[in-house]
């Protein structure tokens, strides 16, 4: 059994404060030790500083800790944002997110590169330059706070493993690493068999850069990982084993990642309609393969 922390994601926007406490205790009752400080929780702390103390009290009461985090994301929030008047606020929000994460005792934060199709009026290379400029701005703060920014593979042109490696080559600091997303990687492999898959739609008139070696390429810089499943068409965040991800291939490889600091279940219990017990059991089974 690995001694790397295993964290579990829950979308707490589906419950009120009382329900949040119940969910935390449900994870603990099923063997979980850690949860993800999610984008919605970070956003709630941004809105009201009192939420930080409340969350710390709640998670301690359940016998859990927050062991990794996911930054806010979306239009005007992702690192590739090319709109000049939106970038200052975007960078400030990430700076605040990183300070919150550090104050909560967490030392990794996954931040989306963004997807180029959100800004169709801006060339891909312009957005790629904006991504690098954003990291150039944020990485000194990450170094100061002692946290690692993790950028993840998705299914767009701007976040292929080759693009991530090109970014990493510009920033040799240990404050930048990767988050390997198994579900996204599956789409960029199995999606080739369905013209309605997410990659086919995202790449539009181009043939997607299909790839069955994404983890191998990212492996030296993988700090975090998102474990969830799908059938290769859309991003379903299913429980592992209920889709087409090749876990027998992925898990032993992850066990060789030299920088791996945390393993995250990114199964979404509400979206995928999966009991918390089933998720905890399946993730525990997976890590035995490492």
Nearest to 192 by CA among 155, 227, 223, 157: 155
Threshold 0.75, pTM exceeds: yes
- The residue written with tokens 């393969």 in the block is 289
- The residue written with tokens 């309609």 in the block is 273
Q: Which helix (H) or strand (E) holds 272?
A: helix 269-272
CA distance 284 to 136: 37
176 within 8 A of 168, measured Cβ to Cβ: yes
Nearest to 154 by CA among 146, 164, 144: 164
Interval 8-21: pLDDT, tens: 999 999 999 999 99
Nearest to 253 by CA among 230, 286, 285, 210: 286
Residue 1 pLDDT greater than 90, yes or no: no
Interval 159-216: pLDDT, tens: 999 999 999 999 999 999 999 999 999 999 999 999 999 999 999 999 999 999 999 9
Give percent above pLDDT 90 in the chain.
Answer: 99
Cα–Cα–Cα angle for 12, 234, 191, rounded to 5 degrees:
150
What is the overall mean pLDDT for the chain?
97
Segments making up each domain of the chain, as ranges: 6-287
Tokens of 263: 């393993």
Q: What is the CATH number of domain 6-287?
A: 3.20.20.150
Task: List all residues 6 or more positions away from 31 whose beta carbon is below 8 Å from its beta carbon.
Answer: 280, 284
Q: What is the mean pLDDT of residues 237-252?
A: 97
Q: Tell me the Cα Rg of the chain.
A: 18
Give percent above pLDDT 70 in the chain.
Answer: 100
Residue 244 pLDDT greater than 90, yes or no: yes
Q: What are phi and psi of 69, to 5 degrees?
A: -150, 160
Name the percent of the chain in helix, strand, coil, to the closest 5.
50, 15, 40
Interval 132-144: pLDDT, tens: 999 999 999 999 9
**What pLDDT is attached to residue 2?**
75
**What pLDDT is attached to residue 159?**
98
Q: What is the mean pLDDT of residues 229-253?
A: 97
Q: What is the mean pLDDT of residues 211-230?
A: 98
Task: List all residues 6 or more positions away from 133 whose beta carbon is below 8 Å from its beta carbon.
Answer: none
Nearest to 82 by CA among 121, 140, 135: 121
Interval 87-133: pLDDT, tens: 999 999 999 999 999 999 999 999 999 999 999 999 999 999 999 99
Q: What is the mean pLDDT of residues 52-65?
A: 98
CA distance 153 to 159: 5
Nearest to 114 by CA among 126, 125, 100, 127: 127
């Amino acid at each position: 059994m690995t001694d790397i922390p295993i964290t579990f994601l829950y979308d707490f926007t589906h419950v009120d404060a009382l329900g949040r406490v119940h969910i935390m205790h449900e994870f603990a009752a099923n063997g979980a030790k850690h949860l993800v400080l999610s984008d919605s929780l970070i956003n709630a702390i941004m809105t009201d500083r009192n939420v930080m103390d409340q969350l710390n009290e709640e998670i301690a009461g359940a016998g859990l800790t927050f062991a990794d985090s996911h930054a806010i994301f979306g239009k005007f929030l992702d690192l590739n944002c090319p709109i000049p008047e939106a970038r200052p606020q975007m960078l400030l929000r990430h700076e605040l997110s990183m300070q919150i994460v550090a104050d909560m005792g967490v030392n990794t934060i996954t931040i989306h590169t963004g997807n180029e199709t959100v800004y169709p009026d801006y060339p891909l290379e312009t957005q790629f330059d904006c991504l690098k400029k954003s990291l150039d701005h944020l990485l000194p703060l990450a170094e100061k706070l002692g946290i690692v920014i993790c950028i993840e593979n998705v299914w767009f042109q701007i976040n292929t493993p080759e693009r991530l490696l090109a970014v990493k080559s510009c920033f040799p600091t240990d404050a930048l690493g990767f988050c390997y997303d198994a579900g996204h990687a599956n789409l960029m492999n199995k999606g080739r068999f369905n013209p309605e898959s997410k990659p086919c739609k995202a790449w539009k008139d181009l043939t997607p850069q299909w790839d069955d070696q994404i983890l191998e390429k990212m492996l030296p810089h993988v700090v975090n990982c998102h474990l969830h499943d799908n059938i290769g068409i859309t991003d379903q965040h299913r429980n592992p084993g209920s889709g087409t991800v090749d876990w027998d291939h992925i898990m032993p490889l992850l066990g060789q990642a030299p920088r791996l600091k945390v393993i995250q279940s990114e199964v979404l219990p509400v979206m995928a309609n999966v009991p918390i017990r089933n998720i905890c059991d399946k993730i525990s089974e997976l890590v035995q393969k490492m």
